[in-house]
Each structure stands twice: as structure tokens, then as C-alpha cells.
Amino acid sequence: MPTTPEPETGGPTNGGAAEGRRTPGPRRRLNRERIVSTAVELIEARGLRALSMRSLAERLEVAPGTLYTYVANRTVLETLILDTVIAQDGLPHELPGTWLEKLATWARDDWVTFREKPWVMELRQANHDFGPASVTWLDSALRVFDGTGLPAQVKFDMIDSLDAYVLGAATVHTQSVDRVPNPSAAMLPEIKQARLEATRLTEAMGEGGTPFSQSRFEFGLRCLLAGFQAIAEQERSALSGER
């Protein structure tokens, strides 16, 4: 580990500080935690695309090569960032309620995180490595199912399915916010004609239905959890039958 540089103490021979100069104090010690926290600050200020070993080194006021003493490469840096985000979240098995309620809370918490910090979602999609906090989190997610009697593979499949649903829903939400529908003027006649022929669409919207509504996440989550509950009941029935 590099040592903290000694503060500069040189000055005029009369013991007074040179006019207009400040004697710098010791620099903050560089370590992984500081590198990762500064990387997060950089991402939140300028976006994920702005993150590079060089831009991070500039923000830390060190030579780019210095970072490689602590972080092997950008992939490792991204893994550390994701692991830090995961470590800051609560563990699923510590949430209140039944196992289904714990899953619902976990899903909603991730939904909020992905919407408020889209860069976390981008990083999840780009980086498939994992760190110690990810291992701890997955162990906790499995603990959610304690007492359900579900087979191990069913537990893993439910965790993966719920995670994929939230990640996919957040991706679609982000894209729909960033890309406001704006049909080409040249296609307006065809679109108007299609609307006239889309009788079921007209009826549904006439009844108050709204395509791409903000309630679709909760509806999808409710369907998924209902499916989980049905599967759990089937597994219990099968187990009872074997006995």
C-alpha cells in the first residue's frame, strides 16, 4: 500500500510562510473504498459512459497507473461498484412478512433503485461478474424460502425470474420515458386508418383502459407472485402425495 505523502514544511528561513502560499496538508490515503466511492460520484455526476480509469484518476488527482495498484482493470472496478451498491441494500430474508411479501418488497425496492439510478441497471446489464456482497445477498434470498419446502432449483428459478422481471420492466420504463412516441407525419394517414380499424383498441380505451400505464409493474408483479404461490402449493401437494 502506498504511504501517505509527508506534508510540505519548507518555507523562508525566517520561519514565516511565503506570502500567498498555503502549506498543504497530508493527502487522504488512497484505498479501494475511496476509489469506489469516487467512481460512484463520477457516475452520478456525469453518467456511466464518463467512467474510465483515466477520468477516475483525474478526479482522485492521481496518476492513472496508481489505480491499478488497487483495481486490476475496469471490469473489476465495475464489479466492486455493483458489490458496494448491493451491500448498501437490506438483505431479503430480513424483510418483514411472509416469503411472498418479502419477495414483493425486494422487487419494489429494486424497481425504485433502477428508476432513480438507471446507471445501476446499465451496470447490471453490462457486467456479469460478482463479488462477496453478491454471494451474501444470494444466500439471503434463498433464506426467504425457509419453511416453504420448495426444492432448491425452484427457489433459484423464482429468484432469477423475479430479478429478470424487475430488470426488464425497469429497462422498458426507462426507454419509454426517454423516447416519447412521435410518429412520422408521412405515416399519419395510415395510422389514422389503422386506428379506425382497431375496434378492440377503441373499445378498451373507451372503457378507460390505458396502454403502457404506470400500473403495469404492479400488475406484472402480482401475476408473477400469484404464479409462485400456485407453484408452491403444487409442490406441497406433490410432497404430500409422495408421503
Domain boundary among 18, 43, 71: 71
How many residues in total does the chain contain? Answer: 243
The answer as to whether 21 is a domain residue is no
Distance CA 115, CA 89 (A): 15
Q: Are residues 176 and 241 in the same domain?
A: yes
- The arithmetic mean of pLDDT across residues 199-228, rounded, is 84
Domain range for 133 is: 90-180+218-243
The model's pLDDT over 60-113, given as tens digits with 9 standing for 90+, comes to: 999 989 999 999 999 999 999 999 999 988 899 999 999 999 999 999 999 999
Q: What share of the chain is helix, strand, coil (3-state, %, to 5)?
A: 65, 0, 35
Asked if 29 and 4 touch (Cβ cutoff 8 Å), the reply is yes
- Identify whether 37 is part of a domain: yes
Asked if 224 and 202 sit in the same domain, the reply is: no
Q: Which three cell numbers stand for residue 187?
A: 405515416
Write down the pLDDT at residue 11.
41
Give the global pTM: 0.76
Q: Clarify whether residues 50 and 152 are in a common domain.
A: no
Q: Is residue 165 a part of any domain in this protein?
A: yes
Mean per-residue pLDDT over the chain, rounded: 84
Do 157 and 203 fall into the same domain?
no
- Which grid coordinates belong to 30? 488512497
Please check whether residues 99 and 196 belong to one and the same domain: no
What's the pLDDT at 210? 74
Q: How deeply is 176 buried, as exposed, middle or buried, from its count of CB atoms within 10 A (0-12, 13-18, 19+)?
A: exposed
Domain total for the chain? Answer: 3
Q: Residues 169, 153: one domain?
A: yes
- DSSP per residue over 43-109, as a string? HHHH-GGG--HHHHHHHHTS-HHHHTTT-SSHHHHHHHHHHHHHHHSPPGGGSSS-HHHHHHHHHHH
pLDDT of the residue at 242: 62
**Same domain, residue pair 160 and 119:** yes
Same domain, yes or no, for 140 and 225? yes
**Pair (151, 231) in one structural domain:** yes
Could you tell me if 234 and 171 lie in one domain? yes
Residue whose grid cell is 402480482:
222
Residues 204, 168 within the same domain? no
Say if residues 162 and 103 touch (Cβ distance below 8 Å): yes
Same domain, 58 and 101: no
Q: What are 27-66's pLDDT values in tens digits?
A: 568 999 999 999 999 999 999 999 999 999 999 999 989 9
In-domain check, residue 63:
yes
pLDDT value, residue 83:
93
| Cβ contacts of 2 within 8 Å, gap of 6 or more | 30, 66, 69
Residue 207: predicted pLDDT: 79
Looking at residue 160, what is its pLDDT? 97
